[in-house]
């Protein structure tokens, strides 16, 4: 008679072949043509410079700062007309964030009045301490107090490098610092804006939704600014469902493995080769392959954010390059079409890549910054210190 405990043939097949299949699968070449790290080995970071947009190699030259080895930080910031402070902030969960502020000062170094405060979030694999801070410096030069935090798992903040298994938690950590600062006596009566670049745009919209849904009283943000936000992934950037399915069979054990293809993200993001070399020289830039859990979470969060577009009621500006190969321009156009805000603006820049400010030639980045300055200056004049009720007295601006 048949053994009642006999394992069905399909299960026998899976038990016999799945470990072998996975061992081959995780050793498949990544996007740069090299075998991915084996699952029982600690993830390693690729020390080589990323590919340049035209297929050549970007030579990363190690320097002390993004502007070179000299001058020292204090002298450099003074030459830019800003004062920089760096510190660590402990979140409600006990994790530490590296934070920076940039505020306008006179040539003599005296503090200048500020129009509003801006809270900035960088993109995937980056941090606030290299070329990204040029954005913060620009806003400070316009008369804004700017505050930045390295995301968890990035730069000098706590967390496994570039592991983003819980984007809501990552956003909440940065939000705790931003709200702590925004509610300070010097800033509480001034307008306040959230700014997010690339994946930082996803974190920023999550912060806005968390502020809007969980905090008593009015939303604390006057407006939102997005630069090439990650709300929609291009098809060739989406993680393979089969990879995620097979890794998922390991019940979370593979989540931190750095074994997902990166699809040459840097080459699709940076147009200017000189700026590519500067970005490649960032000693804190993550250069390993994307982690399994990170890609799964980003795919999930993109779907979640798209479903919540209709809940966006604050004034916003979103900007995208039409040749962006990292985050789809549909991220900006769909937000514009679906958001409930009556004050909404989308800017589409023909033939520009993903990194609109850090990675484009100077004339292009200046154009983007000029548009952002015009938008935020106008909102400060329009709304003053009050956070306007959603949808008040504003007209939407169509794509240009």
Signed CA dihedral, 85, 185, 138, 171: sign only: positive
Give 394's DSSP letter.
-
Burial class (CB in 10 A: 0-12, 13-18, 19+), 55: exposed
CA distances from 101 to 88, 125, 385 (A): 11, 20, 20
CA distances from 189 to 85, 270, 327, 377 (A): 22, 38, 35, 17
User: What is the DSSP track for 165-204?
Assistant: S-HHHHHHHHHHHHHHHHTSTTTTTS-EEEEEETHHHHHH
CA distances from 352 to 270, 320, 329, 367 (A): 9, 8, 11, 11
Q: Where in the sequence numbering do the catalytic residues fall?
A: 198, 324, 354
User: Closest Cα partner for 207 from 180, 187, 228, 178?
Assistant: 178
Spatial contact of 211 and 175, defined as CB atoms under 8 Å apart: yes
Spatial contact of 164 and 192, defined as CB atoms under 8 Å apart: no
Backbone angles phi, psi at 223, to 5 degrees: -170, 175
Residue 72: count of CB within 10 angstroms of its CB: 10
**Is residue 117 helix, strand or coil?**
strand
């Amino acid at each position: 008679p048949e053994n009642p405990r006999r394992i069905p043939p399909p299960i026998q097949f899976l038990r016999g072949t799945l470990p072998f299949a996975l061992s081959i699968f995780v050793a498949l070449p990544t996007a740069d043509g090299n075998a991915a790290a084996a699952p029982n080995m600690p993830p390693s970071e690729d020390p080589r410079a990323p590919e340049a947009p035209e297929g050549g190699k970007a030579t990363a030259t190690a320097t002390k700062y993004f502007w070179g080895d000299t001058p020292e930080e204090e002298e450099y910031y003074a030459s830019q007309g800003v004062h920089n402070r760096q510190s660590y902030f402990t979140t409600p969960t006990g994790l530490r964030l590296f934070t920076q502020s940039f505020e306008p000062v006179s040539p003599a170094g005296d503090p200048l009045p500020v129009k509003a405060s801006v809270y900035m979030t960088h993109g995937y694999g980056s941090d606030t301490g290299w070329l990204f801070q040029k954005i913060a410096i620009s806003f400070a030069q316009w008369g804004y107090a700017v505050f930045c935090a390295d995301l968890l798992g990035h730069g000098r903040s706590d967390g496994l490098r570039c592991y983003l298994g819980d984007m809501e938690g990552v956003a909440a950590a940065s939000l705790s610092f931003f709200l702590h600062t925004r509610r300070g006596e010097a800033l509480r009566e001034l307008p306040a804006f959230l700014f997010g670049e690339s994946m930082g745009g996803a974190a920023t919209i999550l912060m806005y939704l968390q502020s809007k849904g969980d905090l008593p009283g009015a939303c604390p943000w006057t407006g939102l600014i997005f630069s090439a936000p990650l709300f929609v992934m291009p098809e060739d950037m989406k993680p393979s469902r089969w990879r995620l399915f097979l890794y998922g069979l390991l019940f979370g054990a593979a989540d931190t493995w750095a074994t997902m293809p990166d699809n040459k993200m840097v080459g699709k993001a940076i147009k200017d080769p000189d700026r590519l070399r500067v970005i490649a020289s960032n000693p804190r830039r993550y250069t390993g392959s994307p982690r399994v859990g990170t890609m799964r979470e980003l795919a999930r969060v993109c779907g979640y954010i798209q479903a919540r577009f209709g809940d966006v009621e604050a004034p916003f500006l979103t900007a995208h390059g039409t040749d962006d190969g990292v985050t789809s321009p549909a991220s900006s156009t769909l937000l514009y079409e679906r958001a409930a805000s009556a004050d909404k603006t989308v800017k589409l820049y023909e033939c520009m890549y993903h990194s609109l400010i850090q990675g484009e030639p100077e004339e292009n980045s200046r154009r983007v910054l000029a548009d952002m300055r015009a938008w935020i200056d106008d909102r400060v004049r329009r709304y003053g210190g009050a956070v306007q009720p959603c949808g008040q007295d504003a007209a939407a601006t169509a794509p240009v």
